[in-house]
Structure 1
Amino acid sequence: MGIVYAAPAVAPEPRAAAEGRFMSWTGVNGDVFVLSADDSNPAMQRGVQGLHMPDIQVFESSTPLIHGSELDGYTILPRRVFWPLMFQADTAAQWRAEHAAFFDSFHPTVPGTWTVGEGDDARTLGLVGTFDGGHTFDLDPFYTGWANIGVELRATRPLWAGKEIRREYEAELEPDFIPTDPEDPTYHPTSVLGYTSARIGNPGNEAAYVAWEIDGPHPPGLIVGVESFVITIPFEIPEGSTFTLDTDPTSGYAALDGVDMSTQLGFQIFAPVPAGGDVRLVISTEGTGRVLAKLTPLYWRAY
């Protein structure tokens, strides 16, 4: 057996134009902490976990009649996250206040929000802390003014959420026409996206569900849905009222002006928009109110 000797790989220097990735934490109490700036407190250090691919469990089956196995499907397990954080301050009082404010923003069962990226490029992940009481301080941070603390977190919903996609539709105006009046030969196109032209796309890695926000007036019998999976709203949505319907089975709700209407809808089967898909939305009504369709794409990674 031959042995090949090679020099160890050396990490390249960062490009001159490179920029660090923006990161922030929004706690359950609404407090926001920027983690990625040089003067952040706390500041993110090397060794972050949770940004890349999730833990995917693949299901497979086998039979003595066929060599190998069949891949039957997969599920994505809760995501483990680790933050290596540096806490530092100029005074003991400042260190105590800022350290306390950060850890007071966590809750064992209510998620806060980790944001990576900015603007349209930002993605978010809901996290809870998984504290076991085992952290030790090698040095007294009230004396040194700093401490490295590794924070273990968990995302029970392991997919990163991208920017919400919003598509607004209204009742069709009069159709396009060219007047026959020689005094006014102007072509008059309609400018509003009508109910019959409703579509929505999903750029994410996983299927995602549509949430509806519907303004009255609409009489009973309004129909909305994705492709052939539709639902009939059996009650009136008066003018000035808003009906909201979230079809995601993990967080679904139906409310008219904030009043729960789930029992009036009964049992329903909603269809998601497939990953990478662009589907027809069904909107059928005798009403004229605005219909807003919203979808939050879900991604495997933070970028």
Structure 2
Amino acid sequence: MTIVLSSPLRSEEAAPVAGNRPMTWTGFDGTVWRLTRPGSPNPRMLPGVQGLHMPRMDVYTSSSPGVPGVIITGYELPPRPVYWPLRFANRSIDEWEDEHAGFFDSFHPVLEGVWTVGDGVDARTLPLTGSFDGSHSFELDPFVTGKAVIGVQLLAPRPLWRGRTIRRQFKAPEPSPFFPGPPFTISSGASYENATIPNPGQEPSYVTWEIDGPHPAGVKVGVGDALVEVPFEIPIGRRLVVNTDPSEQYARIGDLESVDDKLVLTNATDAARDLGFQIFAPIPARGDVVLTIVTEGSGVIAATHTPLYWRAF
């Protein structure tokens, strides 16, 4: 895809973005809009897209008298501004009005929609909210021309692009055979003892744990020395879900129910108070990480996380 960083477009005859990388917008209302690829309906993305590449990084430093230069102590990523130059053009005024209205009704200043770039396993997403200042003006009456170029200002409160969610499932070690030697079968799937999970992202990310009973009180799961200890029993047929992400931490326990051949949580209740105070640690970026699972139970335990990236590709 050709990307040109520029000031907001004004020409109604600007050429569409070239290339084969798809982009879609899923509004807060659930509507889906395809923004690129030849023949796609309105709107069409034009050159000048902002928000695909590196985010702004605020670097922190310290200095000491008599020591040349500074010491870099860390950095943070502020919210990411996003700009879309879009063209609306239709064969009739009614089409223009319907698609223009439907598209802009999909934005909200607080509720997030999702910008998706790429498809399949390589797709990355960025949640966005509207960031309108009321300054847009139409150079020509769109109800006369049936077309317009409109620059859309958006904001990513959390500036990192999200990759495909990674899930790893672990189970109790197979018991050793009473009589050593073959033949015996080693079942598929990793055990508690060799639990690992990759993080191909460029920033640390936090795990969501799914702990299916049976497990007695005292099961421990975590990354490194930061272990989540469950002080209560998880019976068979029950699941505890612990999301360790600081922006949305929660703990819920409920029943397991099979839906479309998948086990899902139902009748969930809050378990945060029963879980008590815990210290959570993220999965470090760029590599495979050893997970800690300690339990005398035999239920399946799964770890899930979403890799975080600086760019859309």
User: TM-score, normalising length from structure 2?
Assistant: 0.86
Partner of residue 304 from structure 2, selected from 283, 291, 294: 294
Contact 1:179/1:187, CA 8 A, preserved across alignment = no
Instruction: Tell me how far 1:48 sits from its aligned partner.
Output: 0.1
Counterpart check, 1:57 vs 2:49: no
What is the one-letter code of the residue matched to 1:66?
V
- Where do 1:1-303 residues align within 5 Å? 19-38=19-38, 39-175=40-176, 186-257=183-254, 258-303=268-313
Instruction: Tell me how far 1:227 sits from its aligned partner.
Output: 1.7
Instruction: Figure out how many residues of one structure are paired with residues of the other and give that number.
Output: 282
Partner Cα distance (1:188, 1:102) in 2: 56
Q: Deviations 1:42-100 (Å, cap 9, x if unpaired)?
A: 01000000000000001111122101111111111110100000011211111111111
Partner Cα distance (1:240, 1:90) in 2: 58
Contact 1:41/1:88, CA 8 A, preserved across alignment = yes
Partner Cα distance (2:189, 2:37) in 1: 44
Greater Rg over alpha carbons, structure? 1
Contact 1:254/1:262, CA 8 A, preserved across alignment = yes
Partner Cα distance (1:105, 1:176) in 2: 60
When structure 1 is superposed on structure 2, of 232-241 and 197-206 the one drifting more is: 232-241
When residues 141 and 208 of structure 1 are mapped into structure 2, their CA distance, relative to the original with a 3 A threshold, is same
Partner Cα distance (2:230, 2:189) in 1: 24
Partner Cα distance (1:297, 1:175) in 2: 36
When structure 1 is superposed on structure 2, of 170-179 and 50-59 the one drifting more is: 170-179
Partner Cα distance (2:29, 2:87) in 1: 22
Partner Cα distance (1:83, 1:176) in 2: 62
Contact 1:218/1:285, CA 8 A, preserved across alignment = yes
Contact 1:215/1:239, CA 8 A, preserved across alignment = yes
Contact 1:176/1:189, CA 8 A, preserved across alignment = no
Q: Deviations 1:81-122 (Å, cap 9, x if unpaired)?
A: 000000112111111111111111111011110000101100
What is the one-letter code of the residue matched to 2:107?
F
Where do 5+ consecutive residues of structure 2 fail to align?
1-17, 255-267
What is the one-letter code of the residue matched to 2:277?
F
What is the one-letter code of the residue matched to 1:37?
R
Partner Cα distance (2:127, 2:21) in 1: 18
Paired residue secondary structure (1:142): helix
What is the one-letter code of the residue matched to 2:31?
D
Q: Deviations 1:2-25 (Å, cap 9, x if unpaired)?
A: xxxxxxxxxxxxxxxx94211000
Partner Cα distance (2:232, 2:30) in 1: 37
When residues 289 and 63 of structure 1 are mapped into structure 2, their CA distance, relative to the original with a 3 A threshold, is same
Partner Cα distance (2:105, 2:292) in 1: 46
When residues 97 and 66 of structure 1 are mapped into structure 2, their CA distance, relative to the original with a 3 A threshold, is same
Q: Deviations 1:243-269 (Å, cap 9, x if unpaired)?
A: 111111111111002211111122211
Where do 5+ consecutive residues of structure 1 fail to align?
1-17
What is the one-letter code of the residue matched to 2:144?
Y
Instruction: Tell me how far 1:179 sits from its aligned partner.
Output: 5.4
Identity of aligned residues (%): 52
Q: Deviations 1:192-242 (Å, cap 9, x if unpaired)?
A: 311111111211111111111122222221111112110111122222222
What's the RMSD between the two structures over aligned residues? 1.6
